[in-house]
Amino acid sequence: MKVSVLMAVFNTPFDLVKRALDSVMNQDFCDFEFIVIDDGSSLALSQQLLEYSVIHQNKVNYIRCKNEGQSYAINRAVHFAKGDYITIIDSDDEYKINHLSTCLQEIQNADLISSLTETIVSKKEDYYVADKNDLHQNIHVDDCILFATLFGKKEVFKSIHFENRYAADSFFYEQASRKFKVRKSLHRTYIYYRNTSTSITALQKQSRIVNF
């Protein structure tokens, strides 16, 4: 198994989750497994996720656990991952069809990469988030390490765990840089939806954005 794709889901509307699921299933690279961690969602959504995983049981593994947050859910999923490489997708985002194949090309001579995104926004302010080093300052998302764009060798994810904290992605990347070769790629094959006001990511970061 070459790649393990991990996705944590907590009560994201199913139409958005299905968009994310389908974008993984439609990749032009096929040697992957897809681990969906249901982080204690409603029973209705859990049933929909289970039904999807049954239809695609050759690729999708569905695991339900109690709600502990995205970071812990992804850490749990890492234990089940069989791929040589591990990557993530947020439940309300989307891969372009060549995302995995592009990441595999970009990971040459590195242990972990993060990439830029095609960011979908409703207003200019959505391009900015609070700087983890100074929450009173804003930085562009292109200058951030974004959780779901991480792609790396399994050993990186096995040796470093995500924490339930703001900028968990950046802290993970910084810790990895002390032990592994990391770099940021300029490709934009990950579609990052910041115009979904009810998403977990938007709600977390909206509360920290400084008004312009």
**CB distance 88 to 190 below 8 Å:** no
* pLDDT of res. 154: 98
Mean predicted confidence (pLDDT) in 111-115:
98
* pLDDT of res. 1: 81
Q: Which residue has the tokens 């934009």?
A: 188
* pLDDT of res. 195: 87
Can you name the residues that pair with 36 across neighbouring β-strands?
7, 62
Helix or strand (DSSP H, E) at 94 = strand 94-95
Alpha-carbon distance 80 to 95, whole Å?
A: 22
User: Among 96-100, 132-136, 190-194, 199-203, whose mean pLDDT is lowest?
Assistant: 199-203
Amino acid letter for position 150: L
What's the chain's average pLDDT?
93
pLDDT band at 99 (very low <50, low <70, confident <90, very high): very high
Q: What are the pLDDT digits (tens) for 1-23?
A: 899 999 999 999 999 999 999 99
177: left (phi over 0), alpha (psi -120 to 50) or beta: alpha
pLDDT at 199 over 80: no
Helix or strand (DSSP H, E) at 75 = helix 70-80
* pLDDT of res. 197: 64
* pLDDT of res. 208: 41
pLDDT at 109 over 70: yes
Alpha-carbon distance 155 to 16, whole Å?
A: 31
**CB distance 180 to 111 below 8 Å:** yes
Domains located in the chain, CATH noted: 3-206 (3.90.550.10)
Looking at residue 132, the DSSP 8-state letter turns out to be: T
43-55 vs 14-25: helix axis angle to the nearest 10?
A: 20
* pLDDT of res. 133: 87
pLDDT band at 168 (very low <50, low <70, confident <90, very high): very high
User: Which tokens in the block code for residue 28?
Assistant: 């032009």
Q: What are the pLDDT digits (tens) for 40-53?
A: 999 999 999 999 99
Alpha-carbon distance 104 to 115, whole Å?
A: 12
| pTM beyond cutoff 0.85 | yes
Mean predicted confidence (pLDDT) in 91-95:
98
* pLDDT of res. 196: 76
**CB distance 52 to 15 below 8 Å:** no
